[in-house]
Amino acid sequence: MRLHLASLSRLLLVTTFAIPACSQSNSLTQRQSVAREIPTHIREFSPALAAPVMQVHRTTDSAGKLTGMHTENWGTAQLLPGGVMLSAGHVFPPELAPGTLPLLNLDGLMVQATILQRRDGGTIADWLLFQPVFDRGAFSPLDPPDSIQKRLANPLRVRIRFDADVFIPRGTTLYAFGFIHAPELESTESLPLTSAIIRGTTPRDLAPGDWIAFESDTPLSIKGMSGGPIALYDEHTEELVVVGVLTASHRRVSLWNSSPTRLIVGPRIPPEALIATQQ
C-alpha cells in the first residue's frame, strides 16, 4: 500500500487537530438532522453491513472463580461474507494475536471469536479480522430483533460488494457506517450506542492502492465508528461498494473556510479479508 505524504499534507492544509472524544454531544436532535441528509436507499443498508463490537473482560477471585465481567471501549465490525468480520486493530488490545479466542459483545450477544489476522501499522494499516463462533457464547444466544443473526440474514446483503481496487474519482460521495454514543440511553438498560452514517466527498482521485480519505462537515463525534465500513454507491448496479475501513479522523481548519471540516481516513479493504471470506 503506497503512502502519499505529499498528498496528505495538501489535504490537511492549514491546521489539523485530533478530535476529542467528547467534543460533540451527539444529541438526538443532531443525529436526526444528520440522518435526514442521508438518502433512504443508503440508510437501508446499515443493519445489513455493520454491528457494534467490544471485548468482554472477565474478573476472577484468588481461587479462579468468575466474579464478574465488564466491557470497555467499543468499535464497529463489518459483516463480511462467510461469517468473517473486520474491524480496526486499535479497537482491540495487542495481546489479541491471531489464534486467540476472546469473548466479545457483538451487537449485544456474548460470543467467543477466533482472531484470524491483524495489522497494527498506524492509520494506513490498522485492521483486525475475526470470526465469531455462536455456539460458544457465554450465554444461550437469544434472538432480539437486532441480533447479529438477523443482520447476517438481511436480504440487502446480496447488494453489498467488498472491493479493494475501485478507482475513486475526486468529488465522489463516500459514506462511513458505524456506532456512536447516544447520551439519552445512558439511564436505560440498553447499551448507549446507536448507528450512524457520515457522508462526505473525496478531495482528490484515489487510485487502487491509495488509502481512503474524504472530507465531511458532520457535527457528530464519531468515537466508536473505528473499524466501520467506508463505501460508495454504484448507481448502475445499485450496489453499495465497501472500499475501506474507518480508522481515524482529523479536524481541519482553513483560513478560507470559517466552518471546520473533518478528514476521515483509513486503509482499503485488506486483501487478506477478501481471501478469508472465500475459505
The residue that leads in pLDDT, 140 or 177, is: 177
Task: For the domain covering 5-59+68-276, report its CATH number.
Answer: 2.40.10.120
Predicted local distance difference test score (pLDDT) of residue 240: 97
Where along the chain do its domains lie?
Answer: 5-59+68-276
44-76, pLDDT tens digit by residue?
999 999 999 998 876 666 665 655 566 667 899
Is 219's pLDDT higher than 60? yes
Q: What percent of the chain has pLDDT over 90?
A: 48
Residue with cell 483560513: 255
Q: Residue 251 in contact with residue 115, Cβ under 8 Å?
A: no
C-alpha 122/C-alpha 266 separation (Å) is 9
pLDDT of residue 142: 55
| Rounded average pLDDT over 4-31 | 50
Region 135-144: mean pLDDT is 52
| Residues contacting residue 6 through CB under 8 Å, at least 6 positions apart | none
Alpha carbon distance 76, 242 (integer Å)? 14
Res 9 pLDDT > 70: no
| Residue 175, all three cell numbers | 459514506
